[in-house]
């Protein structure tokens, strides 16, 4: 072959090759995996589609750049654009399950409570927690391939919920909600109700499930304890502590949501007749802790038990009559002494004391000094979250000790908060 012809052939092949790579760079598809953690949601994995099967993937061969944006507020530069750390790579199926050979490559990325680039959610003071624009650009250095097009998003546990529920009460109030239906079994099944905190109001219940790991009530661990339970996660368009005056209520005035909520519960039970009316449990954090107690007071005998974290109901506004209504309801409170948002001295400590003095026999308080890293990965006891975040222990089913430092007992043996809750039932309806 003449040199000139050979040169043209090489140029043509290179153009074809690099043109293909360039085209791939424009159209490379990926699936994003967003998981709920103690600090909130983070993008933990990205699953890359490839044209030919691969048998290995080298971690150092990939780089990932993240871009976060929202029109609702300017983000700090270090939380806007930057590189994500890839800690593992492997061939996989489309859902990220490891294979010896596959048409996908899964990259595992570092996540942590201080890694602002990792989260597709942002707390916005004027609009609470919101999903924001979150894009990745992934490059494979050895081939020049680039993936920039997110075509699917996987949210473990959250995807098992129906997040499209709406309920309109007779007063015109509309609530959105997410619900989980357990695997079908014979007989009645309990209902776990979770009421979110002040940062999760709005009209997207997936925010409720992921902003502070509430989806964990659908996990295998907790579902096993209950023998399969419905989970209902309502959402307020504003906040549960929305008083009738329009200001926040700490119990000093009525709120506008407790009646619509009971209406939603009855609506949900009517639509799911296998719910056991003797095993309905209500819990929540902060704003949701306020509402949980309010519901107990306004509806004595409706709930078999309650689990309440960082309660935002001030004890001074709980009357003796209110107290008598809830004395016979099993309640387990969770709080931290370092909570500056709902100080324990103003809320849970005097309430717990008054309940015991009123004769309550099944009321407990797990009072932590601080809220720390329960995983041990980010510093363990040496790492401290905001003291308001005591729901970290609740969602993970880590609460075991009562206010005296001794284990809470169930049937003569130490128990956890979720195992204890699952054992509560109203003797007869």
Residue 5: pLDDT band (50, 70, 90) is: very low
Q: Do the domain assignments include residue 12? A: no
* 428, pLDDT greater than 80: no
Clarify whether residues 278 and 371 are in a common domain: yes
* Strand order across the beta sheet in which 102-109 lies: 81-84, 62-69, 133-140, 145-154, 28-37, 40-54, 102-109, 86-92
Clarify whether residues 88 and 204 are in a common domain: no
> Per the structure, how many domains does the chain have?
2
Cα dihedral angle (148, 149, 155, 160), rounded to 10 degrees? -170
Clarify whether residues 328 and 244 are in a common domain: yes
Q: Are 341 and 335 in contact (CB under 8 A)?
A: no
Clarify whether residues 114 and 201 are in a common domain: no
Average pLDDT, the chain: 93
Clarify whether residues 142 and 286 are in a common domain: no
Clarify whether residues 175 and 255 are in a common domain: yes
* Cα-based distances in Å from 203 to 17, 103, 206, 262, 321: 48, 37, 9, 19, 35
Q: Do the domain assignments include residue 11? A: no
Clarify whether residues 344 and 402 are in a common domain: yes
Q: Do the domain assignments include residue 237? A: yes
Local structure of residue 394 (DSSP, 8 states): H
**Separation CA 96–CA 108 (nearest Å):** 10
Clarify whether residues 386 and 239 are in a common domain: yes
Q: Which of 135, 154, 173 is the last residue of a domain?
A: 154
Q: Do the domain assignments include residue 429? A: no
Rounded mean pLDDT of 92-103? Answer: 98
Q: Which of 100, 121, 154 is the last residue of a domain?
A: 154
Q: Do the domain assignments include residue 102? A: yes
* Residue tagged 């004769």 (tokens): 359
Clarify whether residues 83 and 168 are in a common domain: no
The DSSP code sequence of 69-87 is E-SSSPPPGGGTEEEEPEE
Clarify whether residues 108 and 88 are in a common domain: yes
56 is in which domain, residue-wise? 19-154
What pLDDT digit, counting tens, does each position of 370-404 carry?
A: 999 999 999 999 999 999 999 999 999 999 999 99
Specify the pLDDT at position 184.
76
Q: Do the domain assignments include residue 5? A: no
What pLDDT digit, counting tens, does each position of 122-144 carry?
A: 999 988 999 999 999 999 999 99
Residue 275 φ then ψ, to 5° = -70, 135
Q: Do the domain assignments include residue 6? A: no
CATH number of the domain within which 141 lies: 2.60.40.2180
Q: Which of 154, 188, 211 is the last residue of a domain?
A: 154
Clarify whether residues 284 and 179 are in a common domain: yes
Specify the pLDDT at position 218.
98
**Separation CA 357–CA 370 (nearest Å):** 27
* 6, pLDDT greater than 50: no
Residue 27: pLDDT band (50, 70, 90) is: low
Local structure of residue 377 (DSSP, 8 states): S
Determine the 3-state secondary structure of 150 from DSSP. strand
């Amino acid at each position: 072959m003449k040199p000139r012809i050979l040169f043209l052939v090489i140029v043509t092949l290179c153009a074809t090759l690099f043109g293909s790579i360039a085209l791939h760079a424009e159209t490379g598809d990926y699936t994003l995996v967003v998981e709920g953690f103690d600090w909130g949601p983070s993008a933990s994995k990205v699953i890359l589609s490839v044209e030919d099967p691969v048998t290995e993937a080298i971690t150092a061969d990939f780089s990932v750049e993240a871009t976060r944006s929202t029109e609702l507020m300017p983000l700090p530069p270090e939380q806007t654009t930057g590189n994500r750390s890839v800690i593992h790579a492997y061939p996989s199926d489309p859902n990220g399950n490891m294979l010896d050979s596959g048409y996908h490559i899964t990259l595992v990325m570092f996540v942590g409570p201080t890694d602002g680039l990792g989260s597709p959610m942002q707390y916005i003071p004027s609009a609470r927690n919101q999903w924001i624009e979150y894009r990745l650009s992934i490059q494979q250095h050895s081939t020049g391939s680039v993936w920039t097009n997110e075509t699917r998003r996987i949210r473990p546990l959250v995807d098992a919920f129906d997040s499209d529920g709406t309920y309109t009460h007779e007063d015109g109030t509309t609530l959105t909600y997410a619900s989980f239906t357990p695997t079908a079994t014979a007989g009645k099944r309990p209902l776990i109700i979770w009421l979110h905190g002040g940062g999760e109001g709005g009209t997207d219940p997936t925010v409720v499930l992921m902003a502070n790991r509430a989806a964990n009530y659908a996990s295998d661990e907790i579902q096993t304890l209950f023998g399969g339970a419905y989970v209902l996660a309502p959402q307020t368009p504003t906040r549960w502590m929305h008083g009738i005056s329009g200001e926040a209520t700490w119990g000093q005035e009525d709120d506008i949501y407790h009646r619509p909520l009971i209406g939603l519960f009855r609506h949900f039970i009517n639509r799911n007749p296998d719910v056991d009316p003797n095993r309905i449990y209500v819990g929540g954090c902060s704003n949701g802790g306020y509402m949980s107690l309010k519901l107990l007071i306004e509806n004595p005998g409706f709930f078999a038990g309650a689990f309440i974290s960082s309660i935002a109901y001030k004890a001074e506004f709980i009357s003796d009559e209110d107290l008598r209504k809830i004395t016979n309801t099993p309640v387990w409170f969770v709080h931290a002494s370092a909570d500056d948002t709902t100080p324990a001295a103003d809320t849970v400590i005097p309430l717990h004391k008054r309940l015991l003095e009123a004769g309550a026999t099944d009321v407990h308080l797990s009072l932590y000094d601080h809220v720390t890293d329960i995983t041990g990965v980010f510093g363990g006891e040496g790492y401290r979250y905001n003291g308001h975040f005591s729901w970290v222990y609740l969602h993970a089913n880590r609460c075991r000790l009562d206010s005296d430092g001794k284990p809470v007992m169930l049937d003569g043996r130490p128990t956890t908060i979720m195992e204890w809750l699952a054992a509560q039932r109203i003797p007869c309806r």
